[in-house]
Amino acid sequence: MKCLILAAGYATRLYPLTENFPKPLLKVAGKPIIDWLVDDIMAIGLVDGFVVISNHKFARHFRDWADSRSSQFERSEGSPSFTVVDDGTSTNETRLGAVRDIQFAVESLGLDDNLLVVAGDNILDFSLADFISYASAKRASCIMRYYEADEKRLRKSGIVEIDSEDRIVGMEEKPAEPPKPVEPRPDGKPVQDPSKCIYCTFCSRKCPAGALTVDRAAKTWSLDEDMCIGCGNCYEVCPKKAIVL
């Protein structure tokens, strides 16, 4: 699997900080943003090559970065490759945008491997490991989503509609009238009854907020109360009535 890192934007909202320096290479807590991503993905161990898509203005910075990452692995067997693709644009007005940049990199390098596509300027406070294992098990194109209740943020987001199998059946970009957030049930947050739970994972798979983690093999069930929106889906789908609200 190759990891395609989108890094061809101009981050104009961060000017003057990013006027002459690419945002993904800015340091956060002593380490470039892009390295937080790359280190997490490398630790998962399924990616054998990283491809950074840069604009022409910042390509030199990314090449320096790629050279320095490559030199860390010199002579070690199975080390990942680091490649930079220059999309040839030099201004925000002429940028290709994410989708055309992906197409440009795929066609320029003749990529026919599975691809993990990530934005190079995001700091994540979680590992991508779960997403990669989910996508590998599904053997289908997958995207990450999260539950957002804030109406202002929803107006600036792409909103997906999913069916009961988690398939995307609709998508709207930055809607003027976003769908209303799920009303929390008045009966509170879910509590598991371990004596009834068979760790089937139905509840975690139907949780729109990603608040539940169930590990079938380890027989563990945990709830992130801060993420739970109290929708009651887990309670509804549990075949053993092992959830109490």
Enumerate binding residues for ligand SF4 (CB under 6 A).
190, 192, 197-203, 207, 209, 211-212, 214, 221, 223, 228-234, 238, 240, 242-243
* Minimum distance, C-beta of residue 201 to ligand SF4, in the bound complex (Å): 5
Min dist CB 35 to ligand SF4, Å, is: 33
Shortest Å distance, C-beta 13 to ligand SF4: 32
- Least distance in Å: CB of 159 to ligand SF4? 17
For residue 239, the minimal CB distance to ligand SF4 (Å) is 6
Terminal Cα-to-Cα distance of the chain (whole angstroms):
42
Nearer to ligand SF4, 37 or 234 (CB): 234
Which is nearer to ligand SF4, 39 or 161 (by Cβ)? 161
In the bound state with ligand SF4, the residue whose beta carbon lies nearer, of 5 and 203, is 203
Nearer to ligand SF4, 21 or 147 (CB): 147
Nearer to ligand SF4, 85 or 207 (CB): 207
Rounded to a whole number of angstroms, the minimum distance from the CB of residue 237 to ligand SF4 is 6
CB of 227 to ligand SF4, least distance (A): 7
Secondary structure string (H, E, C) spanning the chain: CEEEEEECCCCHHHCCCCCCCCHHHCEECCEEHHHHHHHHHHHHCCCCEEEEEECCCCHHHHHHHHHHHHHHCCCCCCCCEEEEEECCCCCCCCCCCHHHHHHHHHHHHCCCCCEEEEECCCCCCCCCHHHHHHHHHHCCCCCCCCCCCCHHHHHCCEEEEECCCCCEEEEEECCCCCCCCCCCCCCCCCEECCCCCCCCCHHHHCCCCCCEEEECCCCEEEECCCCCCCCCHHHHHCCCCCEEC
> Between 34 and 223, whose beta carbon lies closer to ligand SF4?
223
Q: What residues pair up with 4 in beta bridges, in sequence order?
A: 51, 117
Name which of 113 and 215 has its Cβ closer to ligand SF4.
Answer: 215
Cβ contact 158:174 at 8 Å:
yes
